[in-house]
Amino acid sequence: MWSQVMENDSTSAFEGFILVGFSDRPHLELILFVVVLTFYLLTLLGNMTIILLSVVDSRLHTPMYFFLANLSFLDMCFTTGSIPQMLYNLQGADKTISYLGCAIQLYFSLALGSTECLLLAVMSFDRFVAICRPLRYSIIMHQRLCLQLAAASWVSGFSNSVLQSTLTLQMPLCGHKEVDHFLCEVPALLKLSCVDTTANEAELFFISVLFLLIPVTLILISYAFIVQAVLRIQSVEGRRKAFGTCGSHLIVVSLFYGTAIYMYLQPPSPASKDRGKMVSLFYGIITPMLNPLIYTLRNKDVKGAFKRLIGRGNITRFYSVKPKNET
């Protein structure tokens, strides 16, 4: 069907790409549409709730929840950059995306994904200081440093995206416009090129090591020290609280880095293309939806803030009443 659409590419007025997605399994598209839409709405609701609580509850005005609010905002942007287009392609026969739309989707998915890699590492550093250097926590993790770490994550992520997107979109396609994916990602777009992509794949692997393997290694080192410090805590309650907050972060790290490493650091293989789509679905849709659930269900502070928000009667009243200890 797609070959008929692009039969005469030289004279066709269409300038863009065809996101093949799961069109070879049309019986799955309706199910996927419902599942993806549900997960997207839950993602928006959950992450907006965390951002709201982090802003309006003075008890959550700490570095940990500042970074968590950044993560929630990032996940909302990440899903919004890809899911609406995916839902559009799933609900009908039209699987096209304009060249500009594909470029924008590629740029923002790379930028936000790279930023999340670094932000999760920053969050692990915050937990390391909180547990291993508790007496110096407020001195080390001061507001200026938190802003600098968050800004460095965002700037680095977007800078990497400029490089990756430019190199990918400059590759000659020679009329190939069928992307065997449901969104514009670097590995899928590189397969369209009619020239040797070895240099691009090597560069992508190198960048993936910088943004995936190095951060996850630093996270594991941080948590090795954290585990040692937690085991020295005499109080059972204190030990449980420390493991609770760190456990939430470790779950998020495992879900995100595990799927991203599988996607970007495995050798290319034709047999892995369908698995690659499912993995992309996982870290692009399911993980952003699970993040707020993981942090709220395992975190007494967030659950307490939510109860206080509900207990105020309505959000307007909550905004209008300032806690006495708020600065």
Confidence tier at 272 by pLDDT (50, 70, 90): low
Confidence tier at 320 by pLDDT (50, 70, 90): low
Confidence tier at 48 by pLDDT (50, 70, 90): very high
Phi, psi of 303 (to 5 degrees): -65, -40
Q: What is the CATH number of domain 16-320?
A: 1.20.1070.10
pLDDT of residue 196: 83
- 208: buried, middle or exposed (CB in 10 Å: 19+, 13-18, 0-12)? buried
Measured CA to CA, the distance from residue 49 to residue 59 in angstroms comes to 15
Measured CA to CA, the distance from residue 217 to residue 23 in angstroms comes to 38
Query: Is residue 11 scored above 50 in pLDDT?
Result: no
Domains of the chain, by residue range, sit at 16-320
Measured CA to CA, the distance from residue 277 to residue 179 in angstroms comes to 12
Phi, psi of 16 (to 5 degrees): 175, -150
Q: Spell out the residues 6+ positions from residue 313 whose beta carbon is closer than 8 angstroms to its own.
A: none
Measured CA to CA, the distance from residue 155 to residue 188 in angstroms comes to 25
Per-residue pLDDT reduced to its tens digit, 151-194 = 999 999 999 999 999 988 888 877 668 888 888 888 888 888 88
Residues pairing with 17 in the sheet: 97
- What average pLDDT does the structure give for the chain? 81
Per-residue pLDDT reduced to its tens digit, 12-44 = 445 788 888 777 777 778 888 898 899 999 999
The answer to whether 291 touches 72, Cβ cutoff 8 Å, is yes
The answer to whether 47 touches 75, Cβ cutoff 8 Å, is yes
Return the percentage of the chain with pLDDT > 90, whole number: 27
- 203: buried, middle or exposed (CB in 10 Å: 19+, 13-18, 0-12)? middle
Least reliable range by pLDDT among 116-130, 242-256, 264-278: 264-278
pLDDT of residue 263: 73
**H or E, element range at 130:** helix 99-132
Per-residue pLDDT reduced to its tens digit, 65-83 = 999 999 999 999 999 988 9
pTM of the model: 0.82
pLDDT of residue 245: 66
pLDDT of residue 255: 82
DSSP symbol at 322: -
pLDDT of residue 42: 92
Query: Is residue 312 scored above 90 in pLDDT?
Result: no
Confidence tier at 327 by pLDDT (50, 70, 90): very low
Measured CA to CA, the distance from residue 47 to residue 35 in angstroms comes to 18
pLDDT of residue 69: 92
Three-class SS of residue 178?
Answer: strand
